A and B are shown apart, each in its own frame.
Chain A
């Protein structure tokens, strides 16, 4: 290495630095112009939507007029970013309106420049464009494309299949649960939550026949999803499904079952059954969670609690001692304590 080499290196580094200075400048200018352009599109769109939804019979807003106005603010086929922004605006607006205007906006979506853009994205090789296309289609309720979306429900890309599964829920509602046993890939907690929320938003009235058919699923994520649905809709008559999973061999299924059952109060015989299941749960933390539920939802069953007090897990014993202590059985706790530590003085309270 000599001075000439270092000098050459400096020139290269300095050139890179200059390139980044230029990039920063361009970025600042672009951001300013883009912000102004987006504001203009947003204002124009707001004006069009308000006039379209509440059309003045004397001065009706026609489709060619809408298309032309949008073109004037840059909504052209070659300007994909602007079209994408318009789609975002439509989805955002559609989420905030109800009734006939909701359907009018969906009709408008199918007729103005973004028309066909979302479905074209589905055939893209990029997972990102594909998933985005599916999302736009179900958000704007374009059910005519259902068949094209359906085939992606088991796609290898997690985002594509997630969006396709949500589209199934949006388009088919409760009936979509019949596909649950046939889904091949795991479903994350996020996806389960989103499906439950979409189902609840679009189909607030439960259709139990589809739920019952889905009970036969052996898929662990399917069981968890069904328990979450029962919880969300507060389906008291369906709690048996949750209870039967309290002692499931899989940790996460049990976790979901314990979490979901906490929404429900159950009858005394059912609670007795839950107490029997309690001993079959192989994890002390989960037993502790279920113990809280049993305590908060039933009368004190001294035999049950004493059995736990003389059990093996220290944390559980402490929880049981607290329950007994606060519910008029101090002497039982003292008796237990003196058995453990015959020479000690109990210093509690």
Chain B
């Protein structure tokens, strides 16, 4: 079997070059992940130590803390919009505004909002719009005293990025938080998020993100997460593990070296001034969160202003993850297209000394390991099949190597779960931890292939210029307890 590798001219070289390329790629990724663990561990420890001296309750009564606007775009969310807005309005922060942007919904979202919050149309003649957006029809404010911090912008449809930009235009606070209208935000989340802005000395904070958790099947009461449960279905359960790994290991590690290029669109805080300076979110890409963060970083590098992008390890925002395969694939397809578009838009960063570490390290990492990973994986599958057909594969060796790679993946997931349960008390029951571990160990067999399929589908659409927008993200909704 092995001898047949000599079957045609150059086959020996093709085989070994491929093998060494894949092994080299895997080894580089392994080294990066290992470094990530050490950096994340250091970052979490340091954040925990610092938090003792930066208690939110020390400044909660202060009148000097910055004002914050939460901008939440909504499109056809009529069924759940009232509950969701009430949840966002319940966040505890003394100087807080909520701007809900109705992005041309075709359902009765706006009427429901008008009825529930007793909204009154405002005069918007002289309001400036520094970022161009689809036209704004009307602005509404609540007549009810307890909802004076609510503003609703009714505009023509322009997509998520366009809707957020409209919110930024109308905000008049120092800081803006972008979130999805159906996210459940922890009550003290804003107090924790403004902390880095208040305590930074020599570098300007241009972005701050917080951990995002999955709350499928959990119980929500009065807009607050009262009982966190693990999702009952496997797809969202795997996303719990995936989020723990991504946020606790990945983002915290990058935050430690000021290499964060992405703050999740589900929950991120930025200085309004800087967002306007760069022209807001780019409505032409579906990966608008990644694109904005990179553009902001580029802007600061060009201005030669020292800056930082930070991440907080605590879970401050809970979201509902796709609960079935089809929605998951659509989500990953969109993320892949967003990544493609952003990587392509900012290709001038590649090995560009002008942008310092961002050009020399962070962007190449994203290109090689975030953008490149699905391609390498896909090519790996093709090579496996082709080499198998040619009979070039030493199967016992290949199986052992695959098993080793599988075990390495299990170790990383186990470390992430261990660090999470050690740092936070969200999942403390042995049954929950065992379920998380099992989900992590089963991931490569059914969940990961789906992700790969979704990502490759996104790339395929980009290669063949197949138009596809955000797609419909059907959600089941949280369990709302009325009692």
Most B C-beta atoms less than 10 A away, residue of A2, A31, A189: A189
Specify the chain B residue showing the minimal Cβ separation from A320.
B126
CA of A197 to CA of B202, assembled, Å: 23
Is residue A223 contacting chain B, with contact meaning CB distance below 8 A?
Answer: no
Contact at B54–A190, with CB atoms within 8 Å?
yes
Measured between beta carbons, the chain B residues less than 8 angstroms from A197 are 58-59, 61-62
Contact at B128–A196, with CB atoms within 8 Å?
no
Of the candidate stretches A58-66, A156-164, A176-184, A242-250, the one touching chain B is: A156-164
A51 CB to closest chain B CB (Å) equals 28
Contact at B58–A13, with CB atoms within 8 Å?
no
Is residue A188 contacting chain B, with contact meaning CB distance below 8 A?
Answer: yes
Measured between beta carbons, the chain A residues less than 8 angstroms from B52 are 132, 135
Partner of B428, one of A13, A31, A232: A31
CB proximity to B under 8 Å, residues A171-213: 186, 188-194, 196-197
- Contacts A13-B404, A322-B125 given: A193-B421 contact, CB under 8 Å? no
Specify the chain B residue showing the minimal Cβ separation from A191.
B199
Is residue B368 contacting chain A, with contact meaning CB distance below 8 A?
Answer: no
Is residue A7 contacting chain B, with contact meaning CB distance below 8 A?
Answer: yes
Is residue A319 contacting chain B, with contact meaning CB distance below 8 A?
Answer: yes
Per-residue 0/1 for A313-349: is the Cβ within 8 Å of any B Cβ (1 yes, 0 no)? Answer: 0010011011001000000000000000000000011
Per-residue 0/1 for A8-28: is the Cβ within 8 Å of any B Cβ (1 yes, 0 no)? Answer: 011001101100110110011
Say what secondary structure dominates the interface of chain A.
Answer: helix
Most B C-beta atoms less than 10 A away, residue of A3, A6, A31: A6
Contact at A9–B404, with CB atoms within 8 Å?
yes
Partner of A189, one of B128, B198, B397, B401: B198
Partner of B64, one of A132, A196, A315: A196
Is residue A124 contacting chain B, with contact meaning CB distance below 8 A?
Answer: no
Is residue B400 contacting chain A, with contact meaning CB distance below 8 A?
Answer: yes
- Contacts A21-B414, A188-B199 given: A6-B397 contact, CB under 8 Å? yes
Contact at A7–B414, with CB atoms within 8 Å?
no
CA of A14 to CA of B415, assembled, Å: 13
Contact at A349–B125, with CB atoms within 8 Å?
yes
Measured between beta carbons, the chain A residues less than 8 angstroms from B428 are 28, 31
Is residue B65 contacting chain A, with contact meaning CB distance below 8 A?
Answer: yes
CA of A189 to CA of B196, assembled, Å: 10
Is residue A153 contacting chain B, with contact meaning CB distance below 8 A?
Answer: no
Of the candidate stretches B246-254, B379-387, B405-413, the one touching chain A is: B405-413
Measured between beta carbons, the chain B residues less than 8 angstroms from A162 are 53
Contact at A10–B430, with CB atoms within 8 Å?
no
Partner of B403, one of A10, A24, A193: A10
CA of A189 to CA of B414, assembled, Å: 39
Contact at B404–A231, with CB atoms within 8 Å?
no
Contact at A193–B64, with CB atoms within 8 Å?
yes
Is residue B201 contacting chain A, with contact meaning CB distance below 8 A?
Answer: yes
Partner of B198, one of A13, A193, A349: A193
Partner of B397, one of A3, A16, A31, A285: A3
CA of A3 to CA of B126, assembled, Å: 74
Contact at B273–A285, with CB atoms within 8 Å?
yes
Measured between beta carbons, the chain A residues less than 8 angstroms from B437 are 24
A228 CB to closest chain B CB (Å) equals 6
Specify the chain B residue showing the minimal Cβ separation from A189.
B198
Contact at A135–B63, with CB atoms within 8 Å?
no
Measured between beta carbons, the chain A residues less than 8 angstroms from B126 are 318-319, 321-322, 325
Measured CB to CB, the residues of B under 8 A from A are 49-50, 52-54, 58-59, 61-65, 125-126, 128, 130, 195, 197-202, 273, 396-397, 400-401, 403-404, 407-408, 410-411, 414-415, 417-418, 421-422, 425, 428, 430, 433, 437
Beyond the given A21-B414, A28-B421, please list 19 additional residue pairs across the A-B interface where CB-CB is below 8 A.
Answer: A3-B396, A9-B404, A13-B411, A20-B415, A24-B417, A24-B433, A28-B430, A28-B433, A131-B53, A132-B52, A159-B53, A186-B202, A188-B201, A190-B54, A192-B64, A193-B65, A194-B58, A196-B64, A285-B273
What 5 A-B pairs are tightest by C-beta distance, nearest first?
A322-B126, A190-B198, A190-B199, A13-B407, A6-B400
- What are 15 A-B interface contacts by the 8 Å CB criterion? A2-B397, A6-B397, A6-B401, A10-B400, A186-B201, A188-B199, A189-B198, A190-B198, A193-B59, A193-B62, A193-B65, A197-B62, A315-B128, A321-B126, A325-B126
